[in-house]
Chains A and B, each alone.
Chain A
Amino acid sequence: MSKKVWEQPKLEVLDV
């Protein structure tokens, strides 16, 4: 089974 592409996880605080 092929693995999925990894991306760096980021937490963005939205200015709402």
Chain B
Amino acid sequence: MSVSMIQLEDLIQQEQGNLVSDMDGEKVMMSISSGKYFNLGSMGGVIWESIAPGQTVKQLIDDLTDRYEVGREECQTQVLGFLQQLKQEGLISLRHS
């Protein structure tokens, strides 16, 4: 299975049809289409809520590095990996800007 790499200029969009809930500070989600349950954890929940319409991956990382005690490179590596997981599970879509 080929996985296309996420680019910093890609636009992120939350997919519709997911039930989202907070549970003990962690974001829990159910995909209506796949019937799967997901735990995004606390930081995953922050990222999920930070995804705004028309926002690029770079803008998301900029926002997180402004608010959190984390280096740019570390943040970018971890966020890209997390977004890749969300994309594989059909929770977000990315398109080239």
Which residues of A approach B to under 8 Å, CB–CB? 3-14, 16
Q: Specify the main secondary structure of chain B where it touches its partner.
A: helix
Q: Specify the main secondary structure of chain A where it touches its partner.
A: loop
Chain A residue nearest in CB terms to B41 = A10
Find A6's partner among B28, B40, B70, B89 (CB 8 Å cutoff): B70
Interface residues on B, range: 20 to 34
Contacts of B70 in A (CB 8 A): 6
Which residues of B approach A to under 8 Å, CB–CB? 28, 36-44, 46-47, 64, 67-70, 74-75, 78-79, 82, 85-86, 89
What are 17 of the A-B contact pairs (CB < 8 Å)?
A3-B69, A5-B69, A6-B43, A6-B69, A7-B41, A7-B43, A8-B78, A9-B44, A9-B79, A9-B82, A10-B44, A11-B44, A11-B89, A12-B39, A12-B40, A12-B41, A16-B37
